[in-house]
Amino acid sequence: MAPSASHGHAKHPRLEELEAMVRDGRIDTLIVALTDMQGRLVGKRVQAQAFLGGVIDHGAHFCTYLLGTDMEMNTPEGFALMNWETGYGDWIAAPVWDTLRVLPWLEKTAIVLSDTIDEETHQEIPVSPRTILKRQVEKARAAGFTVKAGSEFEYYVLRDSWQDIADNGYAVPKRFGTYNEDYHLLQATKAEPLHRLLRNYMTEARVPIEFSKGEAAAGQHEVNIRYDHVLESADRSVLFKHGAKEIAYLNGWGITFMAKPDHTWTGSSGHLHMSVWTGDGARPLMHAAEGAAAGPYGLSEIGQQFIAGMMKLSRELAVFIAPFINSYKRYASLSWAPVNVVWGRDNRTTGFRLVGHGPGLHVEDRFPGGDMNAYLTYAAMVGAGLYGIEHKLKLQPEFKGNGYVAKGVERMPRALYEAIWELEKSKAAVEIFGQDVVDHYLNAARVEQQVYDSVVHDWERERYLERG
């Protein structure tokens, strides 16, 4: 793939706009960012005059290890593209100027997301999260489809700062709230100074927020980001999570997108709303056209196959949906997080919830948590949906009733090690992503599991110290 930097004869309009803002003093700092395997934004800050002087005309250099670390930025063995033998050289973060945003919560600062390329070959790095999603978008385009999507994020507002929590040995933090605040306007008002900043700052930064509301636990809140092309929605998702943490920190709030901060708390989701459209993005295809054969609730054949693919491969691709040890603690019965791979019409107990009517018909995937890497999760579900269309999969019958008690159906993995087993034997994952990507993220998951298994936890001391 060709790089997305500002090569070529004509400058991108957003690049010209940025240069004008730098010259008149509105911007003095440019952040060049890429997304690592864990979904975090990493990168460099460019001083304004250095930017005008051309220091990123060919992108910003970054060490290859950024796409081959664990959460602690260690350099584990097992990554083919980056290791001590390769010398940990540089790749290029090539700015994607369409993604340029001015950040109202940071003084005179703009951010641009990047694709990651090899400086010698000018090819994109295949294990880069944004590239993984771009390849699925290209597959959809080649098949005559566009996928549109929107993200919901749940998070907890905390009374303690991250530093306070660290100083306290990561004991269970205090939540900002004392009771379930689902839709409660009074309780939500108590943290409205933060939520208002999130809604308005994000919208100003072209991450349009439609709603915010209290969620199903003390201190838990939800934000809905406007539906758009799936790549744009993934860009918005990573910018939202990063920006929300910055805004919270800069204004004295604690916040977490951890899937399950404590076993007694309701988990935090990262629900995906998805639908298939024509290749030009002009017409939705989930609902059967007039006169065409229609499935349940007017689902088109393509719509049925797309959802069938998402369902068939959710277990096999769970590493891309729920990437961490903690992700699987969220999958608990009667917890508002689904466990069984079933679908239902407007049914929040099922993993896949069919919502909307007519042209607005779409599917909500309720399995991802707030800890997801949106590029990888969207890539997995776009790839799975296209797999369903290509293989003409049949949609299983709707599950009606309490999806937590469904029998004879697949269940999401109960732990990361089970998700690793599923991905190791998945032929569909290799068909969708390629062996190099599967191997890379399998290694990351194995490293995470091995680190966890080697640590003695508080629960073990409580259970065995005296009585063992």
Q: Assign residue 25 a region: left if phi > 0, alpha if psi is -120 to 50, beta otherwise?
A: left
Cα 30 to Cα 48, 186, 236: the distances in Å are 7, 39, 18
Say what percent of the chain tops pLDDT 90: 87
141 shares its domain with 120: no
Please tell me the distance from the alpha carbon of residue 403 to that of residue 340, in angstroms, as a whole number: 7
CATH number at residue 25: 3.10.20.70
26 shares its domain with 145: no
Tokens for 230, please give them.
């799936």
230 shares its domain with 304: yes
The closest of 418, 307, 399, 289 to 345, measured between CA atoms, is 399
Looking at residues 57-61, what average pLDDT do you find?
A: 91
Could you tell me the end-to-end alpha-carbon distance of the chain, in angstroms, rounded to an integer?
A: 58
121 shares its domain with 155: no
Q: Is residue 376 predicted with pLDDT exceeding 60? A: yes
Domain end (from 125, 155, 179): 125
Domain count, the chain: 2
CATH number at residue 246: 3.30.590.10
Q: Does 409 fall in a domain?
A: yes
149 shares its domain with 291: yes
Q: Does 363 fall in a domain?
A: yes
| Per-residue pLDDT tens digits for 109-167 | 999 999 999 988 999 999 999 999 999 999 999 999 999 999 999 999 999 889 999 99
Q: Is residue 6 predicted with pLDDT exceeding 70? A: no
Q: Does 193 fall in a domain?
A: yes
Please tell me the distance from the alpha carbon of residue 248 to that of residue 410, in angstroms, as a whole number: 39
| Per-residue pLDDT tens digits for 30-44 | 999 999 999 999 999
| Residue 83 domain boundaries | 13-125
94 shares its domain with 142: no
88 shares its domain with 149: no
Q: Does 465 fall in a domain?
A: no
> What are the residues whose beta carbons fall under 8 Å from the beta carbon of 38, sequence distance 6 or more?
71, 323, 373
Q: Does 7 fall in a domain?
A: no
| Per-residue pLDDT tens digits for 92-107 | 999 999 999 999 999 9
383 shares its domain with 296: yes
Please tell me the distance from the alpha carbon of residue 136 to that of residue 132, in angstroms, as a whole number: 7
User: Band of the pLDDT at 9, cuts 50, 70, 90?
Assistant: low
3-state helix/strand/coil string of 409-435: CCECCCCHHHHHHHHHCCHHHHHHHCH
Residue 11: the pLDDT is 86
Torsions phi, psi for 146 (to 5 deg): -120, 140
298 shares its domain with 324: yes
The answer to whether 409 and 351 have CB atoms below 8 angstroms apart is no
Q: How many other CB atoms are there within 10 angstroms of residue 446's CB atom? A: 17
- The answer to which of 34-43, 69-78, 409-418, 424-433 has the lowest mean pLDDT is 69-78
Residue 1: the pLDDT is 40
256 shares its domain with 363: yes
The answer to whether the predicted template modeling score (pTM) of the entire model surpasses 0.75 is: yes
